[in-house]
Amino acid sequence: MALGFGSGLSPFWPGTVGSLLGFPLFYLVSQLPEISQWLLYAVLFVIGVWICQKTGDALGKQDHGAIVWDEIWAMAVTLMFAPANVVWWLVAFALFRFFDILKPWPVAWADRRIHNGFGVMFDDALAAGYAIIVLLALQRFIQVI
């Protein structure tokens, strides 16, 4: 699960490949009532902390590049804020990957300072937060024009 069911083993851009699995996770979770979605994502975050910690320990590196559950989870959460169409989903994907790779403050700070499974999950949660803010701003801007 931490390796994204094998997607984290991709020789090219494992974080990006892993992020693609956020789409089916989002689809499955989106079938639930909204409060259940939020609760499930909270539970999946906590499970993610545990599995990322265990996998990092087993691999000998806390934030090993093959660990992509953090990207899967964060991408699915980001998609919750995108209108239900392919264009917005692609924008959400691009924004999340942009902020996950660029790591603006405090994402980079969290990536360097907060360790273990929580740190692995938290910096991606912050990157998702940036993506969500921009998504919402773009939606508002498009409504205005």
40-59 as b/e, with b when 16 or more CB fall inside 10 Å? ebeebbebbbebbbebbeee
Are 138 and 91 within 8 A, CB to CB? yes
* Residue 111: strand, helix, or coil: helix
Structure confidence by residue, pLDDT tens digits, 56-105: 999 999 889 999 999 999 999 999 999 999 999 999 999 999 999 999 99
Domain ranges of the chain: 4-144
Structure confidence by residue, pLDDT tens digits, 97-136: 999 999 999 988 988 899 899 999 999 999 999 999 999 9
The first and second tokens of residue 65, run together, are 């590049």
Q: Has residue 144 got a pLDDT over 80?
A: no
Q: Has residue 145 got a pLDDT over 80?
A: no
Per-residue confidence (pLDDT) for residue 143, from 0 to 100: 84
DSSP 21: T
65-103 as b/e, with b when 16 or more CB fall inside 10 Å? ebbbbbbbbbbbbbbbbbeeeeebbebbbebbbebbeeb
Q: Has residue 10 got a pLDDT over 90?
A: yes
DSSP 3: T
Q: Which residue, 14, 17, 4, is CA-closest to 51?
A: 4
Amino acid (1-letter code) at residue 72: I
Whole-prediction pTM value? 0.94
The first and second tokens of residue 131, run together, are 């993506």
Q: Kindly tell me the sign of the dihedral angle through the C-alpha atoms of 22, 25, 31, 35.
A: negative
Structure confidence by residue, pLDDT tens digits, 16-70: 999 999 999 999 999 999 999 999 999 999 999 999 999 999 999 988 999 999 9
The Cα 92–Cα 72 span in angstroms is: 13
